[in-house]
Structure 1
Amino acid sequence: MTSRVYGYLRASTNEQDVSRARAPLLTFAAEQGLTVDAWFTENESGATLQRPELFRLLEIARTDDVLLVEQVDRLSRLNGNDWERLQGLIKSKGVRVVALDLPTSHQLLHTGDEFTNRMLGAINGMMLDMLAAIARKDYEDRRRRQRQGITKAKAEGRYRGRPVDERLHASVRELLMDGKSYSKVMEIMNCSRATVAKVAREMKESPVNS
């Protein structure tokens, strides 16, 4: 059975161009003599497991299929426990993770004898763990600097917070009141789960305004 290649594209916010990485992934695939069979795209934080498109990819993937990403941090900025859960699922499915910024993973595209394949798999697993840990540390460092900046700005009376997109929130509120699921609202409004959750929380806290 022929292995399939799935491209996974992720950006944290709707303001970021999630399709930007498609070109380098297509170039890499062409250089390796591969065709990307399907693309899975979403605007969700890499620090959460609430990523429906990633799990949809893993649900349909078969043994030896390839999950192709530009960088390991597109796949994970997860904490240790969540990363173990995701990595365990990937291993149980027998999916090969290939990242452009992880050269050892490129060798997984070319199968050899069983011993070589196992060695390459073990080496790649260790490197993947290391880069996932680095991605998490980078995430936590940026969050800490952001909190420090907000604290300083508040102390100096300069903090105004992120402006709320009132029109977006109003539309999300209407869809939730209409009984739409989080996933359906995200699809219709092209917004993140965090935005939908925030509106839902505000509705719960202020039911009169809902």
Structure 2
Amino acid sequence: MVERRVYGYLRASTADQDASRAKDMLDKFASENGVSVAAYFIENESGAKLYRPELFRALGIMQKDDVLLIEQVDRLSRLNADDWQKLRVKIQSKGILIVSLDLPFTHSLIVRQEEDKDFQGRVLDAVMGMMLDVLAAVARKDFEDRRRRQMQGIARAKLEGKYGGRKRDSAKREKILALLGRGLTYSEIEGALGVSRRTIARTKAEGV
């Protein structure tokens, strides 16, 4: 049995203790499988961005058959479809293996068997293909869920009159309507309140 070179990838999007907890879990998993983690890469960037400096630094130094060890599959998957495809090509082109603690079928990739390398290669291809398909599905679902929540938020904001630009200045609107009611011209209201003719016209059209 020959040890693969293993690199840990963590995301610390909230507090430092989150990264520490995840690191402890990866260390424990590696130890239980008789390997050690060569280096850790801790990301502070949003998971929804393709450009993650630490992830790409890790991918840059990794060689074929090296292992990227992660706590959860969503550490790599929170991307839109186009960005995920770019990341997938990068991983596949380098022949990097991904082991995720929440996907048990990847756990055997942490070590390399010397026997029957041709058979092992076919198994690795099948496992990594499945892994990347899972990542793609998770990425797509996560992206669609976030988009749906965003649209729901926009719809709710529209119903509450909070969407579509800056909040209307109620006090200023009342002053405009009051001056219009007193018969002042647009030019006089512009001078008195420092507002544009467009604002005056819109306020008049909308009424109270």
Same fold by TM-score greater than 0.5: yes
Tell me the TM-score normalized by structure 2. 0.65
1:5 equivalent in structure 2? 6
Q: Secondary structure at the match of 2:47?
A: coil
1:118 is the counterpart of 2:121:
yes
* Distance (whole Å) between structure 1 residues aligned to residue 137 and residue 20 of structure 2: 24
1:156 is the counterpart of 2:160:
yes
1:143 is the counterpart of 2:147:
yes
* Distance (whole Å) between structure 2 residues aligned to residue 18 and residue 151 of structure 1: 36
Q: Would the alpha carbon gap of residues 54 and 101 (structure 1) be closer, same or farther in structure 2, given more than 3 Å must change? A: same
Identity %: 53
Q: Would the alpha carbon gap of residues 124 and 45 (structure 1) be closer, same or farther in structure 2, given more than 3 Å must change? A: farther
* Distance (whole Å) between structure 1 residues aligned to residue 34 and residue 75 of structure 2: 23
Alpha-carbon offset, residue 8 of structure 1: 0.2
Q: How many corresponding residue pairs? A: 158
1:26 equivalent in structure 2? 27
- Per-residue deviation, residues 140-185 of structure 1 (Å, max 9, x unmatched): 21332243134314522578xxxxxxxxxxxxxxxxxxxxxxxxxx
- Per-residue deviation, residues 26-52 of structure 1 (Å, max 9, x unmatched): 111111011112110112233321101
2:132 equivalent in structure 1? 129
* Distance (whole Å) between structure 1 residues aligned to residue 143 and residue 20 of structure 2: 21
- Per-residue deviation, residues 88-137 of structure 1 (Å, max 9, x unmatched): 22233232211112222212223232233222222222322232123221
Q: Would the alpha carbon gap of residues 94 and 141 (structure 1) be closer, same or farther in structure 2, given more than 3 Å must change? A: same
Q: Secondary structure at the match of 1:132?
A: helix
Gaps of 5+ in 2: 164-208
- Greater Rg by CA: 2
CA contact (8 A) 2:3 2:112 kept: no
Alpha-carbon offset, residue 25 of structure 1: 1.0
Q: Secondary structure at the match of 2:37?
A: coil
Tell me the TM-score normalized by structure 1. 0.65
CA contact (8 A) 2:98 2:128 kept: no
Amino acid in structure 2 at the alignment position of 1:147: M
Gaps of 5+ in 1: 160-210
* Distance (whole Å) between structure 2 residues aligned to residue 45 and residue 140 of structure 1: 17
* Distance (whole Å) between structure 2 residues aligned to residue 15 and residue 147 of structure 1: 29
Q: Would the alpha carbon gap of residues 9 and 49 (structure 1) be closer, same or farther in structure 2, given more than 3 Å must change? A: same
Q: Would the alpha carbon gap of residues 157 and 19 (structure 1) be closer, same or farther in structure 2, given more than 3 Å must change? A: farther
* Distance (whole Å) between structure 2 residues aligned to residue 91 and residue 133 of structure 1: 13
1:104 equivalent in structure 2? 105
For the aligned residues, what is the CA RMSD?
Answer: 2.5
- Per-residue deviation, residues 55-110 of structure 1 (Å, max 9, x unmatched): 10111112222110011210222333332322222233232211112222212223
